[in-house]
Structure 1
Amino acid sequence: MKQLRLLVFLFMFAGLAPAGMAAEVRRITLDEAILTARSHSVDAAVALNELRTAYWTYRTYRAELLPEINFSATAPGYRKSYSSYQLDDGSFTFVRNNYMEMNGEISVDQNIWLTGGTLSLNTSIDYLKQLTGTRYNRFMSIPVALTLSQPIFGVNTIKWDRRIEPVRYAEAKAAFISATENVAMTAINYYFSLLLSKENISIARQNLANAQKLYEVAKAKREMGQISKNDLLQLELNLLNARSTLTDCESDYKANMFKLRAFLDIEDDVTLEPIVPDTIPQALVSYDDVLEKAHANNSFAQNIRRRQIEADYQVAKAKGDQRQIMLYAQIGYTGTSDRFGEAYDRLKDNQVVEVGFKIPLLDWGKRRGKVKVSESNREVVQSRLRKEQMEFDQNIFILVERFNNQRRQLEISLRADTIARQRYATNVETFMIGKISTLDLNDSQVSKDESRQAYINQLYLYWNYYYQLRSVALWDFSANRGIDADIEAIVRR
């Protein structure tokens, strides 16, 4: 019987234990939250995909500067159709065609950086087999041909791409590093929101315990006639407000917990317990130093340079489009025969030179107008860039001033938090012996709560300003070194 009871007990324990197990509690520091956000957050994944797009775009541009080997072929092509044919007397008739053809060509193409033209080295073979009438086979070979296609007076797109694309890629790399710092700032925001919620719950629970204790003491004093009914009702109202505040704080805590977990891609059954940072980044910054590093490293500087070059390119393109002249030249050899081998024996020169041009004689100022429009657009871009540069420098100045001022603000708020807690503890003891009123006690409680919340908020602002500086200058001011990233390794992982 005892064994049966033991089995039943074990069975019930096994069935109920999983349901009753508490959720995992994970203590997390601010540095851990930032590190997790950089590697697991959706924002980090978006930044990485944008970097990969820029990386392969730049690789494609680089590949266009290298020789390209192409093979094209028709194997086979069959034709059985009618086509018009002019007789000696000028009349036309239709003749039947029934033949098969095959051809193949290998070419090595190279863009010419200096002039913007294309140079190609070609070799090809063509085969024709007549299937009706006088049947025959025919081969035509071009063992080697050198072809040049060169625009004259037109804009050299290759030259401009060599100026624009490296700047665009440098802009993308800097933007990626800035984006990772923005991910860190988002993590800081969610972390301190949860930390403040946790502190608010701690405050609310302590206030509720104190309100309960004070209310019980007040009821006893009221029975002895030591306090008025109004004071008793005030303390009862404080107790109800403390319960309501705790409920609101718990709801806010759960919402901020969900946000941080979702951002860090952490399981829903994990309860995060944030820890108040006991240290802060030690850094002394100056406006000139931050401005210099921002101009050298920030993607904004590359963006300014790229947009200026692109505006100049549009002007050059409009001027080049005013007249279109194209040079085409080919030098090589060709041979024909009924047999494949003989098509390469008796070779003859094969030379073609063409100069085509299109110069408007009367276009009612259309092309000249396009040049003026592009020049006006360039002036607009330059004006916008000057304005954006001024705002960028101004924002850096404000940020540096706020960061340098924030250390002092943090020291003041920490001292105020310590004093407010000591004052409240003293007032609770004083109220217990009837030396102060409930109004004084409530005032000290509000001051204590606000001072603690202000300290957490000032701590958040310090970390936020610091990472804003990192994001702008791409510089670790506490370690006094640049924020670098192995782009090749990041893209390929």
Structure 2
Amino acid sequence: MKKVVFIVCAILTGALLSEAQTVRSLTLDEAIAIARRSSVDAAVALNELRTAYWEYRIFRADLLPEVNFNATVPSYRKSYTPYQLGDGSYTFVRNNYLQMTGEVSVNQSIWFTGGTLSLNTSLDFMRQLSSPRSSRYMSIPVAITLNQPIFGTNHAKWNRRIEPVRYAEAKARFISETEEVAMTAINHYFNLLMAREQVRIAEQNLANSEKLYEVARAKRAMGQISENDLLQLELNVLDARAAYTSSLSDLKSNMFQLRSFLGIAEDVELEPVIPAEIPGGELTYDDVLHRALLNSSFARNLRRRQLEADYEVAKARGSMREITLFAQIGFTGTSDAFSGAYDPLKDNQVVQLGMKIPLLDWGKRRGKVKVAQSNREVVESRLRQENMNFSQDIFVLVERFNNQREQVAIASRADEIAVRRYDTNVKTFMVGKISTLDLNDSQVKKDESRREYVNQLFHYWYYYYQLRSLTLWDYDKSAPIDHDIERLMR
């Protein structure tokens, strides 16, 4: 009676679930494609790339001419200011005037010298509002200004070396992170696949256990098996039911995680499919390392950090003496009338050389240079160690990947043999030629072999995409993994 109730409840529960949920078959390739398109991790990677893209655009814009318009329209003042008389005494004079100014400037940085070149034109107007009333105009039709640091650090030149490497690193990191999104999808997918296989195993084991227990009860009634064997089979039924219930819970948990990661609605029941084929072939360490050092964000990260360490040393050295040349040449004019402010014009020339050279700083600036040099040596040592670790990790990964294809083949064959052995033992037990211990052992081996096969498949796909993430190379297409960055930034 209990068995009938259990079966009826299971059928009703399955019917209700089938009405409430839509079953969707999902392949691994589909899961990876959805993850790259819809997952939160993919969105984060894309936003990080956008940030790097606009930072690079800002850097490129700094190298181009910049046009500015500055104006004060108007500036009105009515106040008193101190004024020194000829005898040395002071008095206060009243100011009551209206002033307007306007200036257009074009500024261009000179990256190869580190200076700035400006082209300016401006017009000033002042009207005295107190008696006697008057108006004055002053024009600077054109003025060219050069501001050039001498012996200092050329920041623009260093930025031209560092920023392209930084942007290339960001693009490579984005592609690598999209492959890491695929690796996360693979992890969730195979967790669900393993849970689904575990449910099927538990369901099959429960059915077989109940069938064998019914046969054993009949045999016990005829005295063909012992009471101990009958009790063992009954325990097997209870264990199978407990395992089935637990596997259903694990299935729901793993399905929720995959649906959440892929952004799929909760009313969709995912049915993962075991991949029929595995990609890739035999790889060589030298080829993988070469592609990783050529394409990966790791190599660009090493280059950027080396440049930044050199830049810090250059800045410390440049601060030891500061000399700046300021020169301006142009024309100016002033008059009571607007037209007279432009005719005739007068020369307007300014040449200024300023310097700041420490005579006694107790070794402070030299100490900063030594600190920067020491930091650079530390960075270089770390970069060498990271490069060695990276090469070692590549070697281990290539060896594991090349070995994994054989592991998958072995696990697949072991799964087939274990299933056949278990089916044979079930039939043999039915005729009473093997013990329950042998039957239980074959069931355990069958379950372990199936789980091992799914696990070896997972490792193969995970290693494959890990290699793609490190080398940014598609081994199926024999081409670099690339993305249309400009399209993504639109």
Shorter-chain TM-score category?
Answer: over 0.9
Whole-angstrom CA distance in 1 between matches of 2:242 and 2:474: 44
- Is 1:76–2:80 an aligned residue pair? no
Corresponding letter in the other structure for 1:76: P
Q: 1:389-404, aligned counterparts within 5 Å?
A: 389-404=387-402
Q: Counterparts of 1:263 and 1:476 in 2: how far apart (Å)?
A: 24
2:20 aligned counterpart, secondary structure: coil
- Confirm or deny: 8 A CA contact 1:155 1:316 kept in the other structure: yes
Query: CA offsets, 1:6-50, max 9 Å, x none?
Result: xxxxxxxxxxx9998331110010000000000000000000000
- The residue matched to 2:305 in structure 1 has which SS? helix
Is the contact made by 2:209 and 2:236 (CA closer than 8 Å) also made in structure 1?
Answer: yes
Q: Distance in 2 between matches of 1:269 and 1:474?
A: 36
CA shift for structure 1 position 72: 0.5
Q: Give 1:218 shift.
A: 0.6
Match of 1:129 among 123, 127, 130: 127
AA aligned to 1:204 is A
Contact kept? 1:285, 1:477, Cα under 8 Å: no
8 Å contact kept, 2:233–2:436? yes
Q: For residue 451 of structure 1, what is the amino acid of its counterpart?
A: S
What is the alpha-carbon distance in structure 2 between the residues aligned to residue 290 and residue 31 of structure 1? 23
1:154 equivalent among 152, 156, 178? 152
String of CA shifts for 1:237-262, please: whole Å, max 9, x gaps.
Answer: 00000000001100000000000000
Residue 348 of structure 2 is matched in structure 1 by 350
Amino acid at match of 2:380: Q
Instruction: Render the CA deviation track for 1:99-135: whole Å, top value 9, x for unaligned.
Output: 1111000011000011000000000000111111321
Please state whether the residue corresponding to 2:106 is helix, strand or coil. Answer: strand
Structure 1: which amino acid aligns with 2:223? G
Q: Which amino acid aligns with 2:345?
A: L
2:66/2:108 contact within 8 Å kept: yes
Gaps of 5+ in 1: 1-16
The residue matched to 1:107 in structure 2 has which SS? strand
1:325 aligns with 2:326: no
**For residue 211 of structure 2, what is the aligned residue in structure 1?**
213
CA distance in 1: counterparts of 2:443 and 2:80, whole angstroms: 102
CA drift at 1:289: 0.1
CA distance in 1, matches of 2:124, 2:440: 100
- Where does residue 429 of structure 1 map in the other structure? 427
Note if 1:407 corresponds to 2:405: yes
Query: Per-residue deviation at 1:282?
Result: 2.9
For residue 360 of structure 1, the aligned residue among 358, 361, 366 is: 358
CA distance in 1, matches of 2:55, 2:284: 37
Q: 2:42 aligns with which of 30, 41, 44?
A: 44
Q: Return the match for 2:286 from 277, 285, 288.
A: 288
Match for 2:32 among 31, 34, 37?
34
**Residue 234 (structure 1) shift:** 0.4
Match of 2:200 in 1: 202
- Report what 2:457 is aligned to: 459
Aligned twin of 2:232: 234
Partners of 1:181 and 1:470 within 8 A in 2: yes
Q: Distance in 1 between matches of 2:17 and 2:420?
A: 43
Could you say which residue in structure 1 is the equivalent of 2:177? Answer: 179
In structure 2, C-alpha distance between the alignment counterparts of 1:359 and 1:490, rounded to whole Å: 50
- Find out whether 1:304 has 2:302 as its counterpart: yes
What TM-score do the two structures reach when normalised by structure 2? 0.96
| In 2, Cα distance between equivalents of 1:275 and 1:175 | 31
Residues of 2 paired with 1:286 and 1:477: CA distance?
A: 12
Cα distance in 2, alignment partners of residues 62 and 42 from structure 1: 30
TM-score by length of 1: 0.95
Alignment length (residue pairs)? 476
Could you tell me whether the CA contact under 8 Å between 2:139 and 2:334 is conserved in 1?
Answer: yes
Report the Cα distance in structure 2 between the residues aligned to 1:453 and 1:79, rounded to whole angstroms. Answer: 87
- Partner secondary structure for residue 442 of structure 1: helix
TM-superposition CA deviations, 1:299-348 (whole Å, max 9, x none): 00000000001110110110010011111000000000111111001110
> How do 1:56-67 and structure 2 match up within 5 A?
56-67=54-65
Asked if structure 1 preserves the Cα contact closer than 8 Å seen for 2:280 and 2:464, the reply is: no
Partner of 1:285: helix, strand, or coil? coil
Kept in 2, the 8 Å contact 1:81–1:96? The answer is yes
Pick from 272, 275, 278: which aligns with 1:274?
Answer: 272
Q: d(CA) in 1 for partners of 2:262 and 2:407?
A: 30
Q: Secondary structure at the match of 1:328?
A: strand
| One-letter code aligned to 1:245 | A
Q: Which residue of 2 aligns with 1:248?
A: 246
Matched residue, 2:260:
262
- Cα distance in 1 for partners of 2:222, 2:18 equals 47
1:410, distance to aligned residue in structure 2 (A): 0.6
Residue 444 of structure 2 corresponds to 446
Shift in Å at residue 478 of structure 1?
2.0
Q: Which runs of 4+ in 1 moved over 6 A?
A: 17-20
Equivalent residue, structure 2, for 1:108: 106
- The Cα of 1:93 is off from its aligned counterpart by 1.4
Q: What SS does the corresponding residue of 1:21 show, helix, strand or coil?
A: helix
Describe the shift of the 1:386–1:19 C-alpha distance in structure 2 as closer, same or farther (beyond 3 A): closer
Identity of aligned residues (%): 68
| Paired letter, 1:219 | R
Q: Is the 8 A contact 1:174 1:298 kept in 2?
A: yes
Local SS of the residue matching 2:121 = strand
Give the structure 2 partner of residue 4 of structure 1.
none
Residues 248 and 20 of structure 1: CA distance in aligned 2, closer, same or farther (over 3 Å): closer
Name the residue aligned to 1:11: none
Asked if the contact 2:20/2:267 (under 8 Å) is kept, the reply is no
CA deviation digits over 1:143-191, x for unaligned, max 9?
Answer: 0000000101000000000000000000000000000000000000000
For 1:231 and 1:70, how far apart are their aligned partners in 2?
95
Counterpart of 2:112, as a letter, is L
Unaligned runs of 5+ in 2: 1-14
Q: Is the 8 A contact 2:103 2:122 kept in 1?
A: yes
Q: CA RMSD in A?
A: 1.1
The CA distance in 1 between the partners of 2:383 and 2:318, in whole Å, is 26
SS at match of 1:93: strand
C-alpha distance in structure 2 between counterparts of 1:282 and 1:177, whole Å: 19
Query: CA, structure 1 residues 183+19, in 2 after alignment: closer, same or farther (shift >3 Å)?
Result: closer
Task: Give the whole-Å Cα distance in 2 for the aligned partners of 1:347 and 1:206.
Answer: 102
Contact 2:109 2:115 in 1 (8 A): yes
Match of 1:189 in 2: 187
